[in-house]
Structure 1
């Protein structure tokens, strides 16, 4: 395969800010000059037939390691950020989908690409699935907290690639949150019987204990759901109010310590390294959040964005690629998403041993690009 020289092109993409008076973003620049940022990476020679678009609800994808690799294979690709790239605590999945729609429209109307294929890596996977589901069959008119959204003018993409993708932020947190916490205001008050990291915890974990642990995780999620809903009720007469709060200890999935649960090629541990240390860290999953964002993003009972559900209405060409050594997006979840897809010719590709970020796996990126490029050709999405 020919390797093309590539060039990065910084993009400024206008987006439609919320008009409900809520201040979601601290930055005055972002509020007064609503602009999304993208990095369009182009081969020296390329066709305007197809472009790939990458995004994540809150992470910065402007320099993602797949960008230059795709462009070097001759395929134009843009990584873009949503308005929440530096403001994850306020993330609303519905508005992130609106932002992704601005990127799809930008590639089509400003740059003249005939087709746009969405690439969802990690947490980008459920965002892309949610977007495409609403673009094909719009049903959602409000966020879970009742704020109006307009997803009716989203342009459907022409293809969907999910790589190392998890099924949704709410599902991840439901599996990761530490159920030993009994007081949300005091993370040191715990139920010792549910402490995954207790020094005397024996491995492999007993099935009965894991079942109770999972039930307790859901109970904690629903306690926070109730708190978030109560905060919204209490602030109903205060336009723009949104309670911010901290969710402690959210890196405690039993699969991190016991690899006999949900077997794969992964090593024990988490994508953060030592999961017990990450469980106490400031930067853990869902650590800082608002009531509105919690319901839209992290609540399994309330979120609108769940890939296994969304993919059931997505008929566009879809491929799901599992990274079998992944400690965050598990192979079983990729299989679940593949099984849910409404694409009658959908494909599941399993990449042995590859980890979430492909660290110290020098051939990993090239192998991923090769398999995805072949899929694009088979589905007649690129030459």
Structure 2
């Protein structure tokens, strides 16, 4: 089947084109050549470019539209603010409606799962509030159009939860990436998996405590800057690849490679410079990464009344069975939410292996969408 790929570039509420001419929101619309589908999916992420998403062509081959959509924060993670991302997603949803799409499917993939859940939650039960030191949100976040179906596929529970579960709590000095509390060091030579329950509990508490310390510092720093007549600054968070599940397959058992993470060897990745949340502004930390104040979580799925399906992968090295269970629980706990289909595929996080996993995922979701599209 021939596929048409159409570049889409839009402004959204409160934005304009850059001086060089680029639009803040950009993406690619995939569809069968010569067709204007009445059902289309939209996928976006906090900062990753989804315009050429690995499932886009698969859905177009199955006679569905697919908008791989990017907000103004594509490639600009350190500046993310939730309300602005939601109004940018809305620009993509409204564009699909303008093309005659009757059924808009919100595809929440990877980090985009919690972002899409937050978007639809704001439609159903508006409750987004400004982060510390911000007086107001974009007015447009109170007028989101919303989708018709919700798909969660290999999705994280939320950026704050992910970062906290992955962060190394043995860091004693945020300005020194080599500082280590040996009692908490998961990579200490004399500490080998399987880890005992007592260490796991202490480790998890220390991870949450580290997140809270950084949140406290961000609030204090915003106050300090404001007193001097300034608004923001960037900062670095070291060592963020140390989830015990990356080292011990007895915790949340699955078919994943252990030791392993999305960057390969966790120890090497943990002391490297690549990863989520490594550079952030103060308000972005509060909006995206803070356990205390981030509102971007799949807990928001409790407010989603749309038909929903949850798909995960059994060899994912960054999303674990208990993570998916939390998403399913949130969806099943919603008032009047009805049943939630769940499926586990044999594959890695990107469904690249085994070879037919992406086609299997597309078949599964397409069949479900067609059975629920109005």
Give the TM-score, by structure 2 length. 0.94
TM-aligned CA distance change 1:380 to 1:112, over 3 Å: closer
In structure 2, the gaps of 5 or more residues are: none
TM-aligned CA distance change 1:121 to 1:240, over 3 Å: farther
1:181 paired residue among 171, 174, 191: 171
1:179, 1:29 → 2: CA distance? 43
Matched, 1:362 2:355: yes
Size of the alignment, in residue pairs? 367
5 Å-filtered alignment, 1:270-285, equals 270-285=261-276
2:3 aligns to what? 6
Matched, 1:36 2:35: no
Tell me how far 1:46 sits from its aligned partner.
Answer: 3.5
Three-state SS of the structure 2 residue aligned to 1:278 is helix
- Contact kept in structure 2, 1:104 and 1:155, CA below 8 Å: yes
1:293 paired residue among 284, 287, 290: 284
Tell me how far 1:33 sits from its aligned partner.
Answer: 5.8
Three-state SS of the structure 2 residue aligned to 1:39 is strand
Three-state SS of the structure 2 residue aligned to 1:194 is coil
2:113 aligns to what? 125
Tell me how far 1:280 sits from its aligned partner.
Answer: 1.2
TM-aligned CA distance change 1:99 to 1:143, over 3 Å: farther
User: What are the superposed Cα offsets for residues 9-50 of structure 1, whole Å, 9 maximum, x if unpaired?
Assistant: 00111122379xxxxxxx9548x8653111000112545321
Q: Pairwise CA RMSD of aligned residues?
A: 1.8
Tell me how far 1:146 sits from its aligned partner.
Answer: 2.4
1:281, 1:292 → 2: CA distance? 24
Tell me how far 1:266 sits from its aligned partner.
Answer: 1.3
1:108 paired residue among 86, 91, 97: 97
5 Å-filtered alignment, 1:195-214, equals 195-214=185-204
User: What are the superposed Cα offsets for residues 173-194 of structure 1, whole Å, 9 maximum, x if unpaired?
Assistant: 1101101100111121210111
1:321, 1:108 → 2: CA distance? 26
- Contact kept in structure 1, 2:37 and 2:64, CA below 8 Å: no
Matched, 1:137 2:137: no
- Contact kept in structure 2, 1:46 and 1:75, CA below 8 Å: no
- Contact kept in structure 1, 2:31 and 2:37, CA below 8 Å: no
- Contact kept in structure 2, 1:144 and 1:304, CA below 8 Å: no
**Which is further off, 168-177 or 325-334?**
325-334
Give the TM-score, by structure 1 length. 0.91
In structure 1, the gaps of 5 or more residues are: 20-26
